[in-house]
Amino acid sequence: MTDFSTTRSLFTIPDGVIYLVGNSLGALPSAVPARVARMIEAEWGRELIRGWNSAGWMVQPRRVGDRIARLIGATPGTVVMGDTLSIKVYQALAAALSLNPGRRVILSDSGNFPSDLYMAQGLVRMLGDRATLKVVEPEQVEAAIDDSVAVLMLTEVDYRTGRMHDMRVLTAKAHAAGALTVWDLAHSAGAVPVDLAGAEADFAVGCTYKYLNGGPGAPAFIYVAPRYADIAPPALSGWMGHEAPFAFDLDYRPGGGIERMRIGTPPIIALAALDAALDAWDGVSMQDVRKASIALSELFIAEVERRCPSLTLASPRDASRRGSQVSFRHPDGYAIMRALIARGVIGDFRAPDALRFGFTPLYIGESEVRGAVDILEEVLADKLWDKPEYRQKELVT
């Protein structure tokens, strides 16, 4: 059984802060600063360019990818790190379309993260009449899967409400209709148990700065099912995905397996931070994480609804249909969140009216949940949010 008192000791959270936004940016694992400093001073500083060989920088994207694979139900050698999540979405989507050339429909839903839809829209513009994007309401996805669909592209856990798609059911439905799947695990990896191999997912992508605590701008990952590893065409044919990068051939030859999904030079300092952050996951069971996060979110919902009646639950009430985050709606949600943050309860806001709270059992417990609701109740009861400075929008909400 996972000892969450031990994992809590592995994170640095400022005094007086209740941090309920690990679903947007994870807290700092205490081991990260020393690991990054060692990489900079001992590896880069002393080894210089030799570090690509002596410090293992060249194989870092694959090695760290294998550490994440354990958390998302993937086999070793099927996950590689690098670049941003949007780029990985583009890679996966383009590869899936190429593997299903007789069809042209990309099916997604209106709850998908906008950037994923933007990448799909950009790819469609590039391909002209060879592809089209169809967006339906989340509840209509299953019924919309038919023999016109080339690729089903979904974010498993809705970024705004926490509503969760059934990966196994929808993947099976897509395959039965002859479609491939691309799953975005941005709000799943490290939050809920994921079984990519068991669900027979074709492609998956995700970021590492949320529940995996890799730090701002931490590199993304891409998963390719073994059956496609050597045939998935890399739409972005960068030199690190070449079969022999240091042969410096003028013609591109894709590398073997997941290596072909590498693009450019990997961000070694960022990977060092992520590698250290993943140490906190050693010995952690995703089933235990799920059980604890449900208990925390259920407590939060019950207390908010009992004590803050002006808020309306925006997340699914059924915990099995919800990820590790909870959203409540209020017409003045932005100002309310600003007032909360000013008092040390850090969540975030998503337009048009959602106050969003994430529950990360690795460093959040029952006392933080109750303390957060105490402050939320006070902010609402005394209208502490009703100030001009809290209504002024910041660059990041």
Query: Backbone dihedral region of 220: left (phi > 0), alpha (psi from -120 to 50 degrees) or beta?
Result: beta
Give me the catalytic one of 104, 163, 173, 356.
356
Query: Is 291 one of the catalytic residues?
Result: no
Give me the catalytic one of 88, 210, 322, 338.
210
Q: Which of 265, 297, 286, 261 is nearest to 68 (CA)?
A: 286
Give me the catalytic one of 184, 275, 332, 348.
184
Q: Which of 185, 191, 224 is nearest to 206 (CA)?
A: 185
CA end-to-end span of the chain, whole Å?
36
Query: Backbone dihedral region of 224: left (phi > 0), alpha (psi from -120 to 50 degrees) or beta?
Result: beta
Query: Is 209 one of the catalytic residues?
Result: yes
Radius of gyration (C-alpha) of the chain in whole angstroms: 22
- The answer to whether the CB of 197 falls within 8 A of the CB of 79 is no
CA distance 266 to 66: 16
Measured in residues, the chain has a length of: 397
Give me the catalytic one of 113, 203, 211, 300.
113
One-letter amino acid of 286: M
Query: Is 356 one of the catalytic residues?
Result: yes
Give me the catalytic one of 19, 159, 203, 209.
209
Question: How far are the Cα atoms of 14, 59, 62, 186, 325 from residue 7, in angstroms, in the given order?
Answer: 16, 28, 25, 22, 19
- The answer to whether the CB of 174 falls within 8 A of the CB of 144 is no
Catalytic residues: 113, 184, 209-210, 356
